[in-house]
Chain A
């Protein structure tokens, strides 16, 4: 197994643990915006599609890659937009906290 794949496994394991620890603490109050936010972040897959399309190694790659960019970009834009919209609705009855 090449070393960069092993490195990847280490990163995956650590990021998985961080994810568990961070997300476990998030209150159910924000679970819906959490899911729309992780969805937008997950669309970082767009970077892979951008390279594929930019390199233009084959028409096949360009066509599928272009569709992939469209799909991921709509997730990024839509995901961040709706998360912001939802969060702006959460207001407290207490006077603004110190």
Chain B
């Protein structure tokens, strides 16, 4: 057996290599071409780190480690095989698991060290369990809402923000007390327990539509709690991994809240679902023009440039494979077809891209909002499938609209706009969409999957001329 000092050095070198691999792993995520190499790098880094840890001289018993690693693998495999529409709730669940691990380890570390915990150590330990605890229950709640086990609508009550902030303040106060009196071990369960309650209370008032921001924010918290754990254990590898995850989650939440024109505080304390009265304002009779699948097929086949705007409604209707058939049929006729993806089109950052990629739509046809908005004036047909608020021109023009200022896809600049929709019901924010009443807009009423299927049939039926 190698002596303890030599093995400690070896472990540090292994952690050093693993850290480098983790950074490379993220760097290679920059393009779909190198991304697979990125995942490999991450996997090798992870394997090295775990193998290195097992060399730790203090480890005397491997039985429970082996059992736990096996059990974790058995649970992990099905979690890696969920359907693509379920990826957001899977991600929320994995934030919960990650922060559960961090919170449990933090708890054990405290009881092993108390009452001799130096102030800085106690501070990071408190940060670890508070952040870990609220991320654990918050992520479980988010997963529940995404899986639709829990109600999607925000649940609000009077004084909600005061209750929530008080909970957070009490647990921060306990942390401060414990930093100064680490012997007060009886307070520790309270300091862990209150954030667990706070996590639940924090998600209750947040509506389903805000999930992309929330999931990113929880991702950031999970990373930060892991970084705090790195301080406690004096593990630079853990600090690095936590900092990378924390900054990744932070960047994604900034992108998401910008895409909805909301601030963090607005997402956390706003309860967007309440804003509805605007819809009642202009209830005079407005007329819409509707069209059949046959007419839609004729217009599409006569077009040179078509931009398809998918929304989550398309995924709910499971229409993505029919949309791929439409893409194939139009491309075969020489029509240039692109997809315009709003940042919040799915249930988590980038979700819509994955759903379309799963349907074999080439990724170079998928364009984000900033790339494609300049194309709409030269577009013959903008075809909107299951999207609503992200195409609402009121966000640009109507200062009284609740979504005013939200960046939207400029579909109204296309020569013809077609909207596949079940009926005239408004979107999640309960806001009427003036786009539907434009002269250039054709409403295609029906189920997204069936309607796209009908268009495809018309296109292939008339392919002889």
Residues of A within 8 A of B (CB): 1-2, 4-5, 7-8, 11-12, 15-16, 18-20, 22-58, 60-62, 64-94, 97
CB nearest to B348 among chain A residues: A32
A7 vs B244: C-alpha distance in the bound complex, in angstroms?
A: 17
Choose among A12, A19, A69, A83 the residue that contacts B39 (Cβ–Cβ < 8 A): A83
Q: Which of B42, B243, B357, B366 contacts A40 (CB 8 A)?
A: B42
A50 to B229: give the CA distance in the assembly, Å: 14
Closest to A64 in B: B104
Contact B73 A43 (CB under 8 A): no
B209 to chain A, nearest CB (A): 17
- Distance between Cα atoms of A84 and B23 in the complex (Å): 18
**Nearest chain B CB to A90 CB, angstrom units:** 4
> Quick check: B91 and A35 within 8 Å, CB to CB?
yes
Cβ distance B392 to chain A, nearest Cβ, rounded Å = 21
Are A35 and B248 within 8 A (Cβ)? Answer: yes
Asked if B90 contacts A77 (CB within 8 A), the reply is: no
Q: In the complex, which of the residues B26, B76, B237 contacts A78, with contact meaning CB atoms closer than 8 Å?
A: B76
Q: Which residue of B lies closest to A54 (CB)?
A: B59
Q: Report how far A66 CA is from B90 CA in the complex, Å.
A: 22
Given contacts A8-B236, A47-B50, A64-B104, are A26 and B79 in contact (CB under 8 A)?
Answer: no
Please name all residues of chain A whose beta carbon is closer than 8 Å to the beta carbon of B354 when the two chains form the complex.
32-33, 86, 89
User: A30–B243 Cα gap in the complex (Å)?
Assistant: 20
CB <8 Å contact, A38 and B69? no
Q: Which of A67, A80, A89 has the most B CB atoms < 10 Å from its CB?
A: A89
Contact flags B94-128 to A (C-beta < 8 A → 1, else 0): 11011011101101110110000010110010000
- Contact between B241 and A44 (Cβ–Cβ < 8 Å)? yes
Does B1 sit at the interface, judged by CB under 8 A? no
User: How many residue-residue contacts, CB under 8 A, span A and B?
Assistant: 369
CB of A53, distance to nearest CB on chain B (Å): 5
Q: How many angstroms from the CA of A62 to the CA of B87 in the assembled complex?
A: 32
- Nearest A residue to B343 via CB reads A28
Find out whether the CB atom of B46 lies under 8 angstroms from the CB atom of A76: yes
- For window 195-220 of B, CB contacts with A under 8 Å fall at 215-216, 219
Can you name the residue of chain B whose Cβ is closest to the Cβ of A9?
B231
Residues of chain B contacted by A38 (CB below 8 angstroms): 26, 219, 223, 244-245, 248-249
CB of A71 within 8 A of CB of B105, answer no
Give, as a whole number of angstroms, the nearest-CB distance from A75 to chain B. 5
Check if B184 is an interface residue, CB within 8 A of chain A.
Answer: no
Q: Mark B132-176, 1 if CB is under 8 A from A, else 0.
A: 000000000000000000000000000000000000000000000
Are A81 and B81 interface neighbours, CB within 8 A? yes
Contact A42–B226 (Cβ < 8 Å): yes
Looking at the assembled complex, report how far the CB atom of B23 sits from the nearest CB atom of chain A, in whole angstroms. 6
How far apart sit A23 and B238, CA to CA, in the bound complex (Å)?
Answer: 18
Contact A50 B60 (CB under 8 A): no
B43 touches A44 (CB 8 A): no
Is B393 part of the contact surface with A, judged by Cβ < 8 Å?
no
A-B contact pairs, 14 of them (CB 8 A): A25-B30, A29-B363, A39-B222, A40-B46, A45-B241, A47-B237, A50-B65, A51-B58, A55-B58, A64-B104, A69-B65, A70-B71, A74-B76, A84-B36
Chain A residues contacting B365 (CB-CB under 8 Å) are 93
Is B301 part of the binding interface, using a Cβ–Cβ cutoff of 8 Å?
no
Residue contact B120 to A2, C-beta cutoff 8 Å: yes
A89 touches B241 (CB 8 A): no
Q: Decide if A33 touches B29 in the complex (CB within 8 Å).
A: yes
Write the nearest CB–CB distance from B107 to chain A, whole angstroms.
6
Give bound CA distance, A42 to B109, whole Å: 19
Find chain A residues with CB under 8 A from B364 CB. Answer: 92-94
Contact present for B112 and A57 (CB under 8 Å): yes
Q: Are B104 and A16 interface neighbours, CB within 8 A?
A: no
Chain B residues contacting A71 (CB-CB under 8 Å) are 72, 97-98, 100-101, 104
What residues on B are CB-neighbors of A39 within 8 Å? 91, 94-95, 98, 219, 222, 245
Q: Which residues of B contact A53 (CB under 8 A)?
A: 61, 64-65, 68
Complex Cα distance, B239 from A19, in Å, reads: 12
Residues of B within 8 A of A86 (CB): 84, 87, 354, 357
Q: B94 contacts which chain A residues (CB < 8 A)? A: 36, 39, 74-75, 78-79
